[in-house]
Chain A
Amino acid sequence: MRLCSIAEVAEGQARGFAVPGLRRKVVVVRKSGRVFGYLDSCPHYEGGTPMAWRTDRYLNGEGTHLACHSHGALFDVETGECVLGPCLGQSLTRVPLRVSALGEVELQLESAVEEPA
């Protein structure tokens, strides 16, 4: 399933996309020329909570990490691992993405599994 064109997410930026059937948005983030996808769902609380502080504002102020703007948890963009904050040692739920030859960012839906509530 197509989420966006790669041109819609600039290098070093993140955006969230609602996906029918998924309880949380999918966050698409670009870093070092690569594209990563995660559920917009901080693992701190059971069931997960949305992480932005405003539409598409998923990164910390310095743009170095994905951040949960509930309690300031920071996540490594490439691994999804929490490196500082309340969910230290836990990770974001990875969502497999593929960038097509035409630059379309696609969700590998068959392997995108909703996390348990």
Chain B
Amino acid sequence: MNIIGPDYLVFGVDDLAACAEFLTAFGLSPVGVDDHGGLFEALDGTGLIIRKKDDPELPAPLPTATMLRQQVYGVRDASDIEAIAAELGKDRKVHQLADGTIETIDDHGFALKFQVTKRRKLEMPAEKINAPGAPAQRGPNELGVWDGMPAKPRSLSHQVLFVPDLDVAVKFYCGRLGFVITDELTGAGPFLRPKANDDHHTLFFIRTPEYMKGIEHLAFHMGGPTELMVAGSRFVKAGYESFWGPGRHKFGSNWFWYFNSPLGTHFEYDADMDKHDDEWVARAAPMGPEASQMFLLQHRDKWAPGPGPKQ
């Protein structure tokens, strides 16, 4: 089962216009969006699909405040879809759609869809840095930052779900779909990556009471920490509300900056996440401020020291 990761996250919202404004300002591009909503995509074509919450085409909502209605996973090819349908068809209804995709639910009731991935292959350099002792990554006259530099989300990275039972979640995603646990924050939950993705995590669970079941946050990969800082600073300047960050996580090593949203979940810019293979041995650390980040900063308005008191 070569699951790559989330292609789309689908939301049923109460204010399409506000969500469209937010997603566009976050850096996603509307594709075929009309009065009924549509897709807002990152540079590789992954992204969010938003609809009115009473849109009859949406899967049923969870009985909580969450607006997440479906997680659409990308897989390598049609044989992976067949394998998933065969496995999950053992104990639940799996709907085969005319376009070759399948729809079902996980053991907590989250709606899932699997499709041959629609991700476009990106050919873009990562952020380049220079340091003594190492070959220069940026050559002579190549600038690191400039006004107006691009800082667009490149790819949907991961989603984090509030679930009441971690064992149920792990048994389903690891036992049935071939995800592996890369690390665990005890007291919160495990980080998971699927077989066909070497990112530290595309999925993370946090144990909560049943009435909180839903999505805690979703994240997009940026081209590097500088792009993350630039995008986040622009977002704050435009009036959007920072929730946590910028900083750098310990597990996954990814830079982070989280924002509130009108979709009832946090949106994270992330950058420079660790990669893992099957040789990796999962770590565990107790959930808390110390384990959650290497360092945490806070945005402030631009400022500069001057020559001294005003003359």
B-binding residues in A (CB < 8 A)? 49-55, 57, 60-62, 67-74, 84-86, 88
**Alpha-carbon distance between A68 and B162 when the two chains are bound, in angstroms:** 16
Contacts of B214 in A (CB 8 A): 71-72
Contacts of B263 on A, CB cut-off 8 Å? 72
Query: Chain B, interface size: which category?
Result: 20 to 34
- Are A73 and B65 also in contact (CB < 8 A) when A53-B261, A61-B15, A86-B212 are? yes
| Residues of B in contact with A (beta carbons under 8 Å apart) | 13-15, 18, 22, 64-67, 162, 208, 211-212, 214, 216, 238-241, 243, 259-266
Question: Of A51, A71, A84, which one neighbours B265 at CB under 8 angstroms?
Answer: A71
A-B contact pairs, 28 of them (CB 8 A): A50-B260, A53-B240, A54-B22, A55-B239, A57-B18, A57-B262, A60-B14, A61-B18, A61-B262, A62-B15, A69-B241, A69-B260, A69-B261, A71-B66, A71-B162, A71-B214, A71-B265, A72-B65, A72-B67, A72-B214, A72-B263, A72-B264, A74-B65, A84-B64, A85-B64, A86-B65, A86-B208, A86-B212
B240–A54 touching, CB < 8 Å: yes
Total of A-B residue pairs, C-beta within 8 Å: 72
A53: chain B residues within 8 A (beta carbon): 18, 22, 240-241, 259-262
Which one of A60, A61, A67, A71 has the greatest number of beta carbons of chain B within 10 Å?
A71
Cα–Cα, bound, A71→B287 (Å):
19
Residues of A close to B66: CB separation below 8 A: 71-72
User: Do residues A61 and B13 form an inter-chain contact, with CB atoms below 8 A?
Assistant: yes
A67 to B266, CA, bound (A): 14
* Chain A nearest CB, measured from B55 CB (Å): 14
Compute how far the CA of A61 lies from the CA of B16 in the bound complex, rounded to whole angstroms. 8
Q: Measured between alpha carbons, how far is A88 from B162 in the docked complex, in Å? A: 15
Is A70 a contact of B65 with CB atoms below 8 Å? Answer: no
Q: How far is the CA of A12 from the CA of B83 in the complex (A)?
A: 52
A69 with B15, Cβ < 8 A, contacts A49-B243, A53-B241, A85-B64 known: no
B212 to chain A, nearest CB (A): 5
Are B212 and A71 closer than 8 Å at their CB atoms? yes
Kindly identify which residue among A49, A62, A71, A85 contacts B216, using a CB–CB cutoff of 8 Å: A71
User: In the complex, are the beta carbons of A54 and B65 less than 8 A apart?
Assistant: no
Given contacts A61-B18, A61-B262, A86-B208, contact A50 B65 (CB under 8 A): no
Closest chain A residue to B68, Cβ basis: A72
